[in-house]
Amino acid sequence: MTAALEGIRVVDLTSVLSGPLCTMMLGDAGADVIKVESPAGDQARTWGPPFWGDQGAEFLAVNRNKRSIVLDLKTPLGRKALFDLCARADVLVENYRRGVPERLGIDYETIRKVNPRIVYCSISGFGDSGPRRDQAAYDSVMQAFVGIMHMTGAPGTPPTRASVSICDISAAMYANQAILLALAARSRTGRGQRVEASLFESQIAWLLFRAVGYFATGKAPAGKLGSASAHLAPYEVYATKDGDLMVAALNDRLFRKLAAVMDLPELAEDPAFATNAKRVKNRAALNAKLARRFRERETAEWARRITDAGVPCSRINTIEDVLRDPQTAARDMIMTLEHPTLGTIKVPGIPIKLSDTPASGRRAPPLLGQHQHEVLTEIGWTSAEIEKLNEKTP
């Protein structure tokens, strides 16, 4: 089957997480992604632990379906090679700190002169305008800035970072969408354009009902609630006889089912708990009754009984638990790839399923400069020219 982005060539000037994840998604969809690295390589190659052999796990997680070449963009020869790549490319993605592309002479205005059809994507911390545009921003810093740390964790605990890099990941997703939109527009106009995504804007967008609630009431959202929801009940973790269980009875119908399966039918008849708004208001009294009953049985039994009743719930899994769960295998969410030095490696699978143009894992994350000769030959460089370039980029 033909992949959705087969025939699209992407020049990937990104490093670490947000940019590489964005370009990996393009590669998964069939694009030919050329990862252009400095002589030092993407710094995530050396980040760890954990490592797989000599490769950082973070690098391996977000760099499949790419070919790697090494260019020193501070040199005229390195820039010439990049321009030759861009002349034949459809997309360029960069996540340099603001101002760096201009200093290197590889900014959008320069690249569009080489190829007016190119889609030039910039991923940054705060975007390309505004008083904070020049500030550096990493995921943890952005989680603090946009209020995530203020809302995350148990009451009375210090500010807590979400352990998954949600700011980087969301920026990658929006950048990917922006590129696809620009390619769709190009199919009509014949012109490329510059597109942007930032960690800041992606997280403002993700505030969703938190932000709208503030606009509606003029009051900041409640602080830390642990696993609970500020506007739903019961919707949190409860301690069982031998562990914990997340329960999400988020409407009146599900609450009645939960009360029945827990042999507490009186809760469903109690006016204090008749609606979600009343259950939120009387959360402490409701939780006191539920907590006593949850402690009478083990997690596995409660999970079975509540799930069978049609109420969403889950025990608190570890990463190992979920990767071993049969649902993960059934949905092809573990992918095996053949790495040139590590042998068979496993990485998370592709979450988007297309019936006619499926995404796939074709290449393992590349070694630094692994495809230097192959890629440069494709764009017309001679062996002598490649050798001269390699002398400048050890």
Task: Show the tokens assigned to 21.
Answer: 């994840």
In this structure, the chain runs to a length of 394
Q: How far is it, in rounded angstroms, from Cα 111 to Cα 108?
A: 5
Contacts of 382 (CB under 8 A, 6+ apart): none
Q: How far is it, in rounded angstroms, from Cα 175 to Cα 154?
A: 33
Least Cα distance to 146 among 120, 177, 125, 176 occurs for 125
Using DSSP's 3-state secondary structure scheme, residue 23 falls into helix
112, 73 in Cβ contact below 8 A?
A: no
Which helix (H) or strand (E) covers residue 343, if one does? strand 343-348
- Backbone φ and ψ for 373, nearest 5 degrees, come out as -65, -40
Would residue 332 be called left, alpha or beta, if left means φ above 0 and alpha means ψ between -120 and 50 degrees?
A: left
Catalytic site residue 168? yes
Set 28, 42, 107, 168: catalytic member = 168
Bridge partners, 344 (sequence order): 338
Residue-wise DSSP of 163-225? SS-HHHHHHHHHHHHHHHHHHHHHHHHS---EEEEEHHHHHHHHHTHHHHHHHHHSSPPP---
Bridge partners, 314 (sequence order): 246
Q: How far is it, in rounded angstroms, from Cα 74 to Cα 105?
A: 9
Return the active site residues: 168
